[in-house]
């Protein structure tokens, strides 16, 4: 028969063993719950995500800004809408297509690339007229050339992927307003030169017809 002291000793031993067992279980559970890094989310072989797959870095696809590619019209009338062609007097002015003059974009023109040069001018006029030139260019060279224009009195600005320069003035011989506009975007260069021929939104129309 166990005396009171013996019963107390056995009770303490049983209690201690139980506490140790619970502590062991609790420790194992906590370790699994806080596992991070390469082992986070690991599962048994029956399915799910493995630790090694989480540790492997993934490569994200990156996209660079696409270079704008234009299509140069083959006909001068296609450079603008029919409404503008009539409204701004193009339809009433003789159209010719002589050899294109040298411009700020000449050094950037791609050999063999598509191009068009259109000149609207009455042969009886001394200066009045307007010309539009659209050429295929090396984009980096074209931009470099246009960045030289502020030194020649042009006002330039960059908008999105395009670069525009414009100079408005007065003719030195005749009391008429003159305008010279350059535009480059992607592989396209545009120049609009006019004297005594007011227009509204012409560059925007030409750009819309090319891109």
For the segment 1-54, what is each residue's pLDDT rounded down to a tens digit? 444 444 444 443 444 444 344 344 444 433 333 333 334 444 443 444 433 333
Fold of the 76-210 domain: Protein Transport Mog1p; Chain A (3.40.1000)
pLDDT value at residue 151: 98
Helix (H) or strand (E) holding 140: helix 139-146
Residue 176 DSSP label = -
DSSP 24-51: HHHHHHHHHHT--GGGTT---TTSS--H
Q: Do the beta carbons of residue 94 and residue 121 sit within 8 Å?
A: yes
List the beta bridge partners of residue 183: 164, 190
- Is the pLDDT confidence value at 103 over 80? yes
pLDDT value at residue 19: 39
Give the pLDDT confidence of 50-88 residue by residue, as tens digits.
333 333 333 444 444 566 788 999 999 999 999 999 999
Give the pLDDT confidence of 182-196 residue by residue, as tens digits.
999 999 999 999 999
Would you say the pTM of this structure is higher than 0.75?
A: no
Q: Do the beta carbons of residue 113 and residue 135 sit within 8 Å?
A: yes
Helix (H) or strand (E) holding 139: helix 139-146
Residue boundaries of the structural domains of the chain: 4-55, 76-210
Give the pLDDT confidence of 155-186 residue by residue, as tens digits.
999 998 999 999 999 999 999 999 999 999 99
- Is the pLDDT confidence value at 112 over 90? yes
Question: What mean pLDDT do residues 107-136 have?
Answer: 96
């Amino acid at each position: 028969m166990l005396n009171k002291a013996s019963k107390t000793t056995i009770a303490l031993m049983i209690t201690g063993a139980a506490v140790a067992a619970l502590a062991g279980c609790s420790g194992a559970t906590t370790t699994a719950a806080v596992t991070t890094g390469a082992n986070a989310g690991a599962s048994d072989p029956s399915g799910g995500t493995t630790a090694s797959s989480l540790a492997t870095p993934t490569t994200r696809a990156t996209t660079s800004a696409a270079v704008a590619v234009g299509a140069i019209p083959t006909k001068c009338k296609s450079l603008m809408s029919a409404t503008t062609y009539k409204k701004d007097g193009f339809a009433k002015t003789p159209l010719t297509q002589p050899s294109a003059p040298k411009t700020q974009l000449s050094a950037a023109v791609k050999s063999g690339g598509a191009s068009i040069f259109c000149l609207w001018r009455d042969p009886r006029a001394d200066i009045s007229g307007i010309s539009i030139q659209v050429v295929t260019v090396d984009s980096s060279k074209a931009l470099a050339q246009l960045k030289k224009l502020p030194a020649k009195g042009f006002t330039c600005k960059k908008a999105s992927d395009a670069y525009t320069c414009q100079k408005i003035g007065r003719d030195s011989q005749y009391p008429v307003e003159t305008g010279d506009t350059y535009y480059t975007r992607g592989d396209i260069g545009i120049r609009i030169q006019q004297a005594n021929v007011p227009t509204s939104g012409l560059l925007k129309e030409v750009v819309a017809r090319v891109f």
